[in-house]
């Protein structure tokens, strides 16, 4: 009798214990993903960066691996906007042909947070005017790309323009590398070269378009002449 009494009084304690276990478990899983505790996407992105092992291939401010590009000034790369990063994270080779960066299978939230973190990696001392110039160079080259595609559709051979386009693209890629090293003089030079190349392409696209216009006008005039001749012939036949 005396022995059984403490046993009975233990039962409520046991219930309490079972109630506490899930709470403890919840707490532990919460502690394992501290990422959910912050609302700041940049901080969240940084945690995901660490969790996903990005630093095994990438350096930020001197820390990390060498397999991928240094990301210290990634946010300064004008062409890598939010849209670019999202697409790149989802499928790297779709933007960088032959890319060996692994597809990471990120959730929507992780994508947004990592993108915000990438865009936050920027040096404040990159002059505004150069950002504008680089943006302009990208727009011009995009315009050139569209022009080349148009004239190819019209059946012209545009191989030499494709070569020029690759040259322009290479200038823009070099700019990305130079932004990291902060070699601004070089960035300016490459930007100018890229714009120059894009303008040359656009000039040629313009002359192709003129040529095309000429051909269209010639064809129309020819058709009108043929119609007139047929009508004249018809009238003559009727009179006979
Ligand atoms: C196995 C190595 C590897 C891992 C892991 C890796 N990357 Fe990469 N990453 C690369 C390589 C190689 C490139 C260059 C090719 C390319 O741009 O896709 C690259 C390119 C990039 C670029 C474009 C850089 C530029 O300026 O051209 C970004 C941004 C980037 N990685 C972010 C990340 C993030 C964030 C993670 C983690 C979620 C990550 N990477 C994980 C190898 C890796």
Out of 49, 53, 57, 91, mutate this one to test ligand 1's pocket (max ligand atoms within 8 Å of CB): namely: 57
* pLDDT at 5 (0 to 100): 46
Ligand 1 pocket residue status of 102, Cβ below 6 Å? yes
Pocket test for ligand 1, best of 46, 58, 66 (most atoms within 8 A of CB): 58
Residue 93, ligand 1, Cβ within 6 A? no
Question: Alpha carbon of 186 to those of 130, 177, 181, 182: distances in Å?
Answer: 11, 10, 10, 9
Q: Is the CB of 41 under 6 A from ligand 1?
A: no
Q: What mean pLDDT do residues 48-54 have?
A: 93
Pick the atom of ligand 1 nearest to 85's CA: 29
Q: What is the pLDDT of residues 82-114, one digit of tens each?
A: 999 999 999 999 888 889 998 888 899 999 999
How far, in Å, from the CA of 31 to the mean position of ligand 1?
28
Task: Please tell me if the CB atom of residue 96 comes closer than 6 angstroms to any atom of ligand 1.
Answer: yes
C-alpha 212/C-alpha 201 separation (Å) is: 16
Structure-token pair, residue 47: 């945690």
110 lines ligand 1 (CB under 6 A): no
Residue 166 has pLDDT above 50, yes or no: yes
CA of 130 to the centre of ligand 1 (A): 25
pLDDT at position 31 is: 42
Q: Which residues in 25-55 are b (16+ Cβ under 10 Å) and which e?
A: eeeeeeeeeebeeeeebbbbbbbbbeeeebe
Q: CB–CB of 167/200 below 8 Å?
A: no
Does 218 sit in the ligand 1 pocket, CB within 6 Å? no
For 37-41, which contacts have Cβ atoms below 8 Å and span 24 or more sequence positions? 41/112, 41/113, 41/116, 41/117
pLDDT digits (tens, 9 = 90+) for 225-240: 999 999 999 999 998 7
**Cβ distance 210 to 202 under 8 Å?**
no
Q: Nearest to residue 75, comparing CAs of 189, 187, 176?
A: 176
């Amino acid at each position: 009798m005396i022995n059984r009494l403490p046993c009975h009084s233990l039962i409520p304690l046991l219930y309490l214990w079972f109630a506490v276990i899930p709470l403890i478990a919840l707490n532990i899983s919460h502690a394992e993903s501290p990422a959910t505790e912050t609302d700041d996407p940049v901080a969240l992105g940084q945690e995901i960066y660490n969790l996903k092992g990005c630093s095994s291939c990438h350096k930020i401010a001197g820390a990390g691996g060498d397999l991928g590009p240094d990301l210290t000034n990634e946010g300064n790369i004008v062409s890598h906007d939010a849209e670019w990063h999202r697409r790149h994270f989802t499928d790297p080779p779709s933007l960088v042909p032959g890319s060996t960066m692994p597809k990471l299978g990120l959730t929507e939230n992780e994508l947004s947070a990592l993108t915000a973190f990438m865009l936050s990696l920027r040096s404040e001392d990159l002059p505004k005017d150069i950002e504008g110039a680089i943006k302009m160079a990208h727009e011009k080259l995009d315009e050139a790309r569209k022009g080349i595609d148009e004239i190819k559709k019209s059946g012209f051979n545009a191989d030499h323009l494709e070569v020029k386009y690759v040259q322009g693209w290479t200038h823009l890629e070099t700019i990305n590398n130079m932004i990291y090293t902060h070699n601004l003089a070089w960035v300016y030079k490459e930007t100018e070269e890229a714009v120059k190349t894009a303008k040359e392409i656009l000039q040629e696209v313009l002359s192709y378009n003129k040529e095309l216009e000429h051909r269209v006008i010639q064809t129309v005039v020819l058709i009108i002449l043929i119609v007139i001749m047929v009508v004249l012939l018809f009238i003559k036949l009727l009179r006979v």
